């Protein structure tokens, strides 16, 4: 009987987990938005308002003296942020309606098989779990594991 209860609890956890993880990622949501001579900071604030989300980042990481003038039509929030920021090497973590942006260190190891792998850490060296890592200009990517590793 105890084994049956354990299996039922496990099954319920799996069902709840699948429901939570099957929800669409905020970063993949597509919106239309226009920027005209917006600074990076102002563009991110407008994006937060239009997408009804919060975006967290270190203000010291923001590109300086960059103005954005562009219309995005049904474009993913991930692509919009990348183009607003104007640089590669960004890590994203989306939970609920909150997005965290992190400028990633350029520590990527290429293995002999041509597989990219590495570990994403914050500025204190702590592992970043659930960060999105994507190869530039492709749909190839991964999400870091509990130890910040991707492959």
Indicate whether 114 and 132 sit together in one domain: yes
Pairing of strands 98-103, 54-56: parallel
For residue 2, give both structure tokens. Answer: 């105890």
For residue 55, give both structure tokens. Answer: 């975006």
- 16-39 confidence digits (pLDDT tens): 444 444 456 888 899 999 999 999
Number of H helices, E strands in the chain: 3, 10
For residue 92, give both structure tokens. Answer: 């994203």
- 47-78 confidence digits (pLDDT tens): 999 999 999 888 888 888 889 999 999 999 98
CATH number, residue 71: 3.55.50.30
Indicate whether 99 and 43 sit together in one domain: yes
> Does 18 reside within a domain?
no
Backbone phi and psi for residue 55, each to the nearest 5 degrees, phi listed first: -125, 120
Is the whole model's pTM more than 0.85, yes or no? no
Indicate whether 59 and 90 sit together in one domain: yes
Indicate whether 93 and 146 sit together in one domain: no
Indicate whether 84 and 111 sit together in one domain: no
Indicate whether 125 and 98 sit together in one domain: no
């Amino acid at each position: 009987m105890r084994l049956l209860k354990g299996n039922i609890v496990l099954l319920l956890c799996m069902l709840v987990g699948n429901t939570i993880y099957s929800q669409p990622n905020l970063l993949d949501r597509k919106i239309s938005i226009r920027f005209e001579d917006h600074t990076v900071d102002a563009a991110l604030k407008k994006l937060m308002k239009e997408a009804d989300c919060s975006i967290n980042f270190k203000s010291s990481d923001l590109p300086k003296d960059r103005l954005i003038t562009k219309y995005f039509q049904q474009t993913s929030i991930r692509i919009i942020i990348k183009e607003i920021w104007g640089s590669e090497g960004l890590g994203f973590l989306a939970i609920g309606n909150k997005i965290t942006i992190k400028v990633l260190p350029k520590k990527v190891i290429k293995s002999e098989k041509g597989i990219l792998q590495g570990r994403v850490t914050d500025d204190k060296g702590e592992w970043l779990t659930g960060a999105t890592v994507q190869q530039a200009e492709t749909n190839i990517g991964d999400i870091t594991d509990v130890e910040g590793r991707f492959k």
